[in-house]
Every structure is written in C-alpha cells, then in structure tokens.
A and B are shown apart, each in its own frame.
Chain A
C-alpha cells in the first residue's frame, strides 16, 4: 500500500536524455500502465523507480519516504522482467524463496506458508519442484510473479512481463494479472509497448514519448480525448486518420469536403480544456480562418448507406484497398490529396476503384494544432475527472 510520487525526474545517459522531467503520482493500490514506443524512456522510468538506475535529477518518493538515492534492496519493491529472470539452476520453490532468505526477516515456517499461499494463488503448486528449463513460458512467468508476491513488497514493477509469451497465453495472463491485482491490491507500475495491453490492464494509462509524459488518463478517456496527435495516433489500432484542413466559422474545410463541427452546449464553462465554443475554434491571431489537423478514428467513419442515422453531411471518396479483418472491413480511401481508413461492415461490397459516400460520427471529431500537435477541439465534451481538475489546477 504505497503512493509513489515522481517529481521532475530526469535521467541522462551520456548525451542522451532518456527521461526528461517526469511528474507523476501513482496512487495507493493503483494499477498504472506506462506505454510508449521503444526508446521513449518508459523502461528507464521503471528502473529509476526500482533503483537500478540513478536519477540525474528530480525526486522519487514512496509515501513519505524520499527514496531517490536509496539502494534497490531497501526500497521494498519487486520487479518482474520480460525474460522472467529465474535462476536456471534452482527449482521453482528455491527461486521463490531465494530472495526471502537474503533479508532474513522471515522465519522458516513463515516462508513455507507464504510460498504455499502464493503457489495456491498462482496455481503453480506442481511447478515448485521443477527447474525453469522444464517449464513453459507462461509457467516461468507465473513462478516469477510468485517470487514477487511472497516478499509482500510495497509495489510491483513489471517490465513488459507478457512480451515473451505467445498471443493466446498473453491474453490469458492478462486476465490473470487483473485478477491478481484485484486480490492483492498492491500498487503496480506496468511498462509495455503494447497499447492493447495498456488499455485492458491499466486503471490509468501513462503515454510516454521522447522521455516525456504525453497524457495520463483512464483508458477510455485516453481513447476518446487524446490531448495531442501523438496520443491520438498511438492509442487505437488502426491509427486515427489525420487530415489537414482549414477551420472557417465552425466548419472544417478541405478541398473535397466540408464538415461542420458541432459545438455542443458551448460556453457553460465546465469543460475547461476542451472548450467547444465556436469562438474558441478561431485562432485569436489569424482571425477567422486557421489551419488544423482533423482527427477521426477509422471506426468513426462509415459508408453513408450503412449508417443513415448519422446525419446528412457526407462526402464521396475513392476506394483504394480493402482489408477484411473478419469482424469488420478496413477500407483505405482517398479524397482529394488526403487518404484515410474507414471501418465498414465486414461483408460490404466495396471494390477498389469504386466511389463510396462517407459519413462520420459527429460526436467523435478532433482537431489538432498543425505545429505543436496539441488538441484544441473535441466534438464531444470530456467528462470532468479528478485527473483533469488536478492538471488544470496545476496549470
């Protein structure tokens, strides 16, 4: 039961900045997932938390303790690695107890009891007498989890623990991790590059890029209200379509189409950051017309004949390629100089080269600044979460 606070955390390797001023609070008992492309500093952040790397600058606190310079063994955290890190010459049981013996704070009976408990929880009782060589990947990872559990740490740190497993096992272990966390309630920081894993596991998800935090939010908020282009394109598969447009008087204008931007119940002051008032769409400097990037997820675009309920505004696009995904048909389209992807009914008869009339979900439009990539408009209103209030208060 621990709250972990990172303040302006920096880590430099020679001339490379791996972590560039990270501020983050991991709440007591939370399952927090850190996700980002490789080299974004997520693993380094985790290793800083574990004490395996020394911070160049900044502060790490666990509850009220400043652990920035503390040795790894004195932080009372347990880490689970991608390659399991089991000692190959020891049996499952010995692997689990080896670290417990080191600290000498457990009696023999207590060790036995804890191992039995952990083995029960993870269903690894029959693996205890086997060596890692005789275990499958999933079994090894479960033993590694067992090793982390028995020490009763203040926090679990997991570094892509499922990446070495095959797809089926990964999904199974994912569910198991969620169950385990519900059972133990230990603060967990989980690092992954897989956005599906991040969305399914995390109570909150941290998206990192280039050593900096891009956004921290619950998975659905991340998907619905990305704060910038990076998050918008990173979360969601297939990625969000990005089309250069101009905004004129509350309408997104492209050579080939015009999309009116709904302004909702504008100006009630509640949706601070995502102020959707028509006037906020206009650039204060450039006047009425400004450049923007329109973001729409493929799953929010539809052939007009499939979804007549979405309104009158449609535009015609040319079908380039179709990719059947089983549960849907992904259609690559082009319109003017822009290309985009669209989700269609799985058995739609859309032929490459043909023309399709496209409609969209007006609730699910996003606009981004072309230069900074910041989101300045979401067509629906973001729910007011404590995270957002916190952030606004900090600004």
Chain B
C-alpha cells in the first residue's frame, strides 16, 4: 500500500515539475492527475472495506442492546463507559487480557531466542547435513498446532502442565517461519563482516549480542509483532487445554461474555466491547512499530 502512495507522490511531484516548467503537453498532465485520484479512490475503497466491520463493532459497543437492523441503528449510543466497565469488571475481562498478554510475551520471547539460535546455527556453523535439518524445520509448517491437538493434549496432561501457562506457551515456541525469515536475513549480512569479527577474535556470544542482533533489529521487531498477533489470536488450543476461568485468555473470554446471557437476548454491545478491547494491544503494537514491520516485509532496494 505504501508503494502505491509513494507512486502517487512521485506522480504529483512529476506533475508539479511539468506544470512549473510550463509544459504545454496538457492532455498528459490531465491523465496524470486522473491517475493519481484513481489510485486514491482505490485506496479509500480498500481501506473502507477492511475498516467497516471494525467501525460497526465500535459503534455497537456504545449502545445499550446493540441490535443492528437498519441504518439509523448505526448512530453511536451513550452506553460506552457502562459497557466497557461491565466487561472488564463484572466479567473479569481484564484478567483474560492479562493472561493473553502473558502468553503472547512468553511465546514471542521464547520463539525469538530459539529461532535466532537455530538460524545462527544454520547460517554460521558447519553442521553436518544442515540443509537437511533446515528442510526438516520447514517441514514442520505442514503440522500446525491444531493438527497435533490429540497427541499434544495427551503429552501436556502427562507432563502435568494442564491448565497452566506452560500448556499454552511451550507448544508454540518452535517457529519454522521465524527461523526461515531470520536465516534469509543472516544470509544477507555480508560475509566479510562475520570474517572481520573472526579475524579480530570476537567470540560467538559477543558477535551475537553486539553485531548480529543490533544488525537484525528491524527484522526482529517485525517478526515479533507478527508472532505477537499470532499468539494473541490463539483460540482453539487455550479453549481445549485451559479449564479454569482464572487462567483463560481473552479470545476464549469473548465467548464467555456472549454465553452468559441465558436463553434470553445476548448482549451484543457487551461482546463488541470485549472484541474492541482484544483488538487494542495488537493495534497499538502495529502503530508503534509500523516502520520496522514494513522494513521486514518490503522488498528492499539497496
């Protein structure tokens, strides 16, 4: 998306230049301008499509009942504070959020440590059959957590980890995607930098902490955000393995908000308040770290 914006900016610059230079090639200038407006229209349309449901959720979370049947129902209500207070205090949603946060942070940190070490071993050390090992790591992509549910459930219970933080973090610690991204990044670091360190007698620990990690900061932050959102959004596994409300995570907690209304109308405004709350931490991270995030996934021109 930024590329499109950059492109538009360039177009406008070029146009301004052409106009300033008294370029009389009028038709070209007009089509150029039209193209710029077209790009913006497309962008707004796409952004609108993505944002619309979220806006509806925000609006609904401010109403008393939150049933939307006609367009006037989309006018914001006045029950916002009441709804959020009820979700956080009465339904203990704050607790769920905290559990989610804890889980996500542990998963991110654990994944980073393991993936950095794995990628380092694959890139910088002479390990026999390391390409095969790397292939095997990639192969685990074919077996995501949901596929492994039954054996995993058994294993976790055998270990006596049921209903604990360990149960919802350890199964997520190995990440083929992260190893892959970090491997590619390490490979892009010029060999001569590693060799200079070798000649200077810089040991592996010092090299990792003072050269490799600082040089990979952008990628590490980007990967962390993605992993955080992934961990934060886990639903099925915590639902299966966690059976006490006190240890439950926010995504499952949402369902509790909805299920509490016995038989009668369920309070959509409450559910939406919870949804908006669960949305906030990932959103905040995305906004704070959007630059390294884009850097990680954009094609870099160097």
Question: Which A residues contact B (CB, under 8 angstroms)?
Answer: 50-52, 72-75, 77-79, 81-83, 85, 87-89, 98-100, 102-103, 147, 151
Whole-angstrom CA separation of A83 from B188 in the bound complex: 13
Contact B201 A103 (CB under 8 A): yes
Asked whether A81 and B192 contact (CB < 8 A) given A88-B215, A89-B215, A102-B206, the answer is yes
- Enumerate chain B residues within 8 angstroms of A147, measured Cβ to Cβ: 196
A116 to chain B, nearest CB (A): 20
Contact B200 A99 (CB under 8 A): yes
Question: Which B residues contact A (CB, under 8 angstroms)?
Answer: 190, 192-193, 195-203, 206, 210-211, 214-215, 217
- Enumerate chain A residues within 8 angstroms of B196, measured Cβ to Cβ: 79, 81, 85, 99, 147
Contact B215 A87 (CB under 8 A): yes
Whole-angstrom CA separation of A103 from B215 in the bound complex: 22
Contact A73 B192 (CB under 8 A): no
For the complex with contacts A77-B199, A89-B214, A103-B201, 10 further pairs of A-B residues with Cβ separation under 8 Å are A72-B195, A72-B198, A87-B214, A99-B197, A99-B202, A100-B200, A102-B201, A102-B202, A102-B206, A103-B200
Provide a sorted-by-A list of 14 A–B residue pairs whose CB atoms are within 8 angstroms.
A50-B195, A50-B199, A52-B198, A73-B198, A74-B201, A79-B195, A81-B195, A85-B190, A85-B192, A85-B193, A87-B193, A88-B215, A99-B201, A102-B200
Contact B210 A98 (CB under 8 A): yes
- Enumerate chain A residues within 8 angstroms of B200, measured Cβ to Cβ: 73, 98-100, 102-103, 151
- Enumerate chain A residues within 8 angstroms of B217, measured Cβ to Cβ: 89
B221 to chain A, nearest CB (A): 14
Contact B199 A83 (CB under 8 A): no
Which A-chain residue is minimally distant from B217 (CB atoms)?
A89
Contact A52 B206 (CB under 8 A): no
Contact B215 A79 (CB under 8 A): no
Whole-angstrom CA separation of A85 from B211 in the bound complex: 12
Whole-angstrom CA separation of A74 from B193 in the bound complex: 18
- Enumerate chain B residues within 8 angstroms of A52, measured Cβ to Cβ: 195, 198-199
Question: Of residues A77, A87, A151, which shows the largest number of chain B Cβ atoms within 10 Å of its Cβ?
Answer: A87
Contact A85 B202 (CB under 8 A): no
A274 to chain B, nearest CB (A): 42
A102 to chain B, nearest CB (A): 4
- Enumerate chain A residues within 8 angstroms of B192, measured Cβ to Cβ: 81-83, 85
- Enumerate chain A residues within 8 angstroms of B203, measured Cβ to Cβ: 102
Give the contacting residue for A98; candidates B190, B198, B202; CB below 8 A.
B202
Which B-chain residue is minimally distant from A74 (CB atoms)?
B201
Whole-angstrom CA separation of A75 from B214 in the bound complex: 28
A367 to chain B, nearest CB (A): 44
- Enumerate chain B residues within 8 angstroms of A73, measured Cβ to Cβ: 198-201
B203 to chain A, nearest CB (A): 7
Contact A85 B215 (CB under 8 A): no
A2 to chain B, nearest CB (A): 15
B36 to chain A, nearest CB (A): 32
Which A-chain residue is minimally distant from B199 (CB atoms)?
A72
A95 to chain B, nearest CB (A): 9
A188 to chain B, nearest CB (A): 15
B264 to chain A, nearest CB (A): 60
Which B-chain residue is minimally distant from A77 (CB atoms)?
B199
Contact A85 B195 (CB under 8 A): yes
Which B-chain residue is minimally distant from A84 (CB atoms)?
B192
* List of 6 A-B pairs having minimum Cβ-Cβ separation, nearest first: A99-B200, A73-B201, A85-B192, A81-B192, A89-B214, A102-B202
